[in-house]
Structure formats: C-alpha cells, structure tokens
Amino acid sequence: MTRHASSQAQRAAMLGANPRFQLYLDARKRHRRSLTLEQLPDGTHNEEDAADFIRNACGVSSRADIDRNIHAEDVLRRIVADYSAWERRQARSS
C-alpha cells in the first residue's frame, strides 16, 4: 500500500480546522488546569490555536514536517486517538 506524500500533513490541517477538535482543546485545557467552563468557555480555541497545538505536540515547525518525521506521525496518531475517544464520550453523555 502506498501512502500519499502529504496524507499526515493534510490530516493535521483538517483536524485543526475542525470546530469539534477546537472544542476538544477547550475541554482538554479545562481538565488539565482544573478550570471551570466560566474560566475557559467553549469556543476559546480557534483554528490557529489548534494548528499551534498540533505543531508543538508533534515537535515540528510546520505540519508538512509531520510527513517526514515518524515520531511526529506517531504523536499525531495519538492526538487523533485521544480526540476520537473524547468524541465517543461526548456522544454517550448526550
């Protein structure tokens, strides 16, 4: 199976543009810093914040670098898995 050269970079870009992922970042930050919804309301993170988060977590200066760095790809997979788990929990609690 051949992997498209920019598949992980594109995946990272689409993830960062996803408003639900941005809400996930709000919830993640609230949880990690023990903040209330009033202290960090939903809608705080935007697409730029999400892109910064992904780049920082993956240890790259550009999302395109994810395609050339196996560690960054692994981190992106973990981010996607954590986000997906959060989405499943949101669906169950609705």
pLDDT tens for 42-71 read 999 999 999 999 999 999 999 999 999 999
Tell me, what DSSP letter sits at residue 4?
A: P
Residue 16 has pLDDT above 80, yes or no: yes
Least confident of 1-15, 26-40, 56-70: 1-15
User: How far apart (Å, rounded) are the C-alpha atoms in residues 39 and 48?
Assistant: 21
Average pLDDT, the chain: 93
pTM: 0.89
Cα dihedral sign for 61, 67, 69, 75? Answer: positive
Predicted confidence at residue 94, as pLDDT, reads 73
Residue 40 to residue 10: CA distance in whole angstroms:
29
How many angstroms separate the CA atoms of 78 and 2, rounded? 22
Q: What is the DSSP string of 31-91?
A: HHHT--TTTS-TT---HHHHHHHHHHHHT-SSGGGGGG-HHHHHHHHHHHHHHHHHHHHHH
